[in-house]
Amino acid sequence: MNKGFNQIDLVFAVVIIIFVVFLSIYYSSHFMQPSLNRARSLELKYLAKGLSETIFNDLGVPEDWQWANDTVKPSLGSYVYKVPVHLKEWNGTDNDNVLIFVYLETEENAYNSSIIVYDGNETLDTELKDMVDSDNDGFLEEVNVTFNVSVSADQEKLVYIYYSRDNQTSVSYSSLSETNNTLNVTELSVKKHMGLTTSKMSALSNVSLKDARDKFGVDLPFRLKVEKTGGNWEYGYNLTDRNTAVNIKKILLQNSTGNIESAGAITYVWK
């Protein structure tokens, strides 16, 4: 009798073990795996956001690494400078396409062909005069920015002067004639915005992917895209159908013709 009971106990124990193993497998496949997938997805999103900040929101090391012999970190961030200019008509007279002078101290932050003037979304005919470039490197210390603008009687408006240190930007300038006007002109404080310029994107295109991964400290494959007027810029590994995290942000861009736009900066990371 004892032997019989022992055999029954053994069979019952085996059944219990098999059932427990089955439940463990079922639980793992139906509950733990989705949790693991979510965790991996969150990890990738975190990595994509971090890489985006490193590349698009950082000047790099050195800051002007695109012209340096030894680059530590080839980030794409560049400062784009914006000077608001307040115009006020004071004599009840329409000013049609009159010439304005604005003196800027640019502290070598303006390349001599990067200065552009906007009235709303419209670029204004511009001429640069009295440029001061002590070391003849193209980066201006001072300049008189002259441009044609129209202001109606008793109207007030803001126009904006933009510039950067990008030596691959080439604004088309005009030869302007001086005219009389009835405008009070007030130059407001310059503001700098983290943005993108052509020279750094061009320079990064020449960095090998292996070097870029080492310098950015990235263990995973990635791809960058800048959605802009005139054609997108892209760099990195070819996208795959693997689990991919995407980070998208808007950033100010001065393109190769000097025009200012809001570009889409996209970072892809996958395993």
* Alpha-carbon separation of residue 41 from 9, 16, 45, 221, 269 (angstroms): 46, 36, 6, 15, 10
- Supply the pLDDT for residue 17: 75
Cα–Cα distance, 7 to 65 (Å, whole number): 78
- Supply the pLDDT for residue 32: 47
Going residue by residue through the chain, which has 271 residues, state the pLDDT in tens, using 9 for 90 and above: 455 556 666 667 666 777 666 556 655 555 545 554 676 789 999 999 999 999 999 999 999 999 999 999 999 999 999 999 999 999 999 999 999 999 999 999 999 999 999 999 999 999 999 999 999 999 999 999 999 999 999 999 999 999 999 999 999 999 999 999 999 999 999 999 999 999 999 999 999 999 999 999 999 999 999 999 999 999 999 999 888 999 999 999 999 999 999 999 999 999 8
**Measured on CA atoms in the order 244, 249, 250, 251, is the torsion positive or negative?**
negative
* Alpha-carbon separation of residue 3 from 6, 9, 10, 13, 205 (angstroms): 5, 10, 11, 15, 79
Cα–Cα distance, 28 to 154 (Å, whole number): 74
- Supply the pLDDT for residue 30: 55
Q: Which amino acid is at 40?
A: R
Token readout for 165 is 């240190």
Mode of pairing for the β-strands spanning 122-123 and 126-132: unpaired
Domains detected in the chain: 42-76+197-270 (no CATH), 78-194 (2.60.40)
Q: Is 240 within 8 Å of 44 (Cβ atoms)? A: no
Selection from 64, 77, 268, 101 nearest residue 184 by Cα: 101
